[in-house]
Structures are given as structure tokens and as C-alpha cells.
Structure 1
């Protein structure tokens, strides 16, 4: 497609390409001389000597923003199971309070209802699942 557009521009007489008081009707088809599609036009105007393979192609000056890296994802099942206290400790609920409660005495059921602090040896596992958790690692 680019070749046919550039050939169409070359087929126009130079008088029609740049009239002083007239806008170019084919401005949507016109490419800048330093673009990839406009390069054959500049080469054709300069002559066939500029077609050497050693001539560098014009490069665009697009600035690529440096990425900040991979955005880590929160493990949503873990986010529903762990909370952080005001002092920065990670707490969890106790296991064994969902069913078969009739065989458990009231003291045991009350103890299982409370939240307990996650063991320090499990902090690395919880922090791996919840990378954006605001935790005080020095909290005892």
C-alpha cells in the first residue's frame, strides 16, 4: 500500500504538488520525508546513488518509559483470611469452629472464636501471598 501511495505522489506534476495559494488535497496521503513511507520519495528525489545498503534508515525518536517492574498480585483467598491489627501484627481465625460443634464444650468453642496471631515462622508465607500488606515486622 505504501508503494502505491508513494508512486501516486511521484506521478503528480511538481506544479500540482506545491501550489502557493492552494492547500494540498492529498494531505492524508502525504508522509514526512524522514518517515519510513516517505523515505522512497526522498531517495527518488536525491537520485539512485542513495539506495546503497550501507545508508542507515531514519530512526524514530519515540521515548519509551522505563517500567517499574512486575505488579505483584494479591492472593484473594488469603486476603479474606488474614487481617492486620493496629500495631501491625497479622491475625487469623482458629480452625475447628465450622461444624461438629455439639461435641465441643462451651469453653473450647469460645476459645476457637477468638483471633490469634500468626506464628512468626509463617510470616514469610503470608507476606508472599499478600505483598501489599502493611505489616510491622518488629511487632512481637
Structure 2
């Protein structure tokens, strides 16, 4: 009984193929000749596997006048660039898009430094323009205004 259900399913599904010569869809000629055969010869035949014609898709036409444009790809699709977490703790971005950092020298040995010097070391300072590429490379998702001076 299962084989009769299988053969009835095979004959009830229409199979269509694309032909490059005509724009409308039509069943392949080999399928038309199968309808006259018995279901047992269809399933036992080794030719039944190669009856379906391959689907041919229209080729895309590229014009030779367009030369490939040069552009740089920073990350491929689906790949997330990783943030350097130590750099993320050391650098911030101001409202205007400048990168700022802390000054060095205010971690230890503060007893011998006068108050004026310690106040000056407490303030944030902008990162030098020559170091911007290094900071942006470590922090790829940082919202930086490169034109800010």
C-alpha cells in the first residue's frame, strides 16, 4: 500500500523546467513520455533518477566599461571586530568626538608632588593626532570625529 501511495504522489506533482529558448514554463518532454509507463517501471528503472533537467538560470551581463572601484573592507559580513578592553578603559570620547585620556604621573609618590601639580595631572588631555590610528584600531566601534582638532 505504501508503494501505491508513493507512485500516486510522484504522478500528482507537476515538474516544470526553464527553457532558455522560450519565456513560458513547460514540462520536460521526458516527463510527458513517463505518463504512459507503468508505475513499477518508473521506480525500478535506473533512468528515473536522471529524468529531471537541471535548472538553468539567466546569466548576469557585466558591462566592460565599468572598472571595479577601489574600496577598503574593514570587516567581512558576519564578523564582529573585537574591542581591546584595556584600551576601552583608558580612552573616552568627548561630545565633539575627540579622544581623551588621563595624564600620567598621578598613581603613586604623591607626597612629594605639590597640590598645583596634582591638580594639573588630574585633568583629561586629548590624544595626539599621530596616535589616533592606534586608538581607533584598538577600539573599532568608537564614535570618533576624525576632523575634530
Tell me what 1:47 maps to. 45
Q: Which runs of 4+ in 1 moved over 3 A?
A: 11-14, 49-52
Q: Deviations over 1:6-29 (max 9, x none)?
A: xxxxx9563xx47xxxxxxxxxxx
Unaligned regions of 5+ residues in structure 2, if any? Answer: 7-40, 56-75
Tell me what 1:96 maps to. 105
Tell me how large the CA RMSD over aligned residues is: 3.4
Cα distance in 1 for residues equivalent to 2:3 and 2:85 = 67
Q: Deviations over 1:43-91 (max 9, x none)?
A: 9705134568xx89x99xxxxxxx7242111111111111111111000
Tell me what 1:128 maps to. 137
| SS of residue matched to 2:109 | coil
Tell me what 1:105 maps to. 114
- Cα 1:139/1:13, change in 2 over 3 Å: closer
- Cα 1:44/1:101, change in 2 over 3 Å: farther
Q: TM-score, normalised by structure 1?
A: 0.57
Q: TM-score, normalised by structure 2?
A: 0.54
Determine whether 1:76 maps to 2:85. Answer: yes
Cα distance in 1 for residues equivalent to 2:104 and 2:42 = 80
How many residues are matched? 98
Cα distance in 1 for residues equivalent to 2:84 and 2:125 = 21
| SS of residue matched to 2:132 | helix
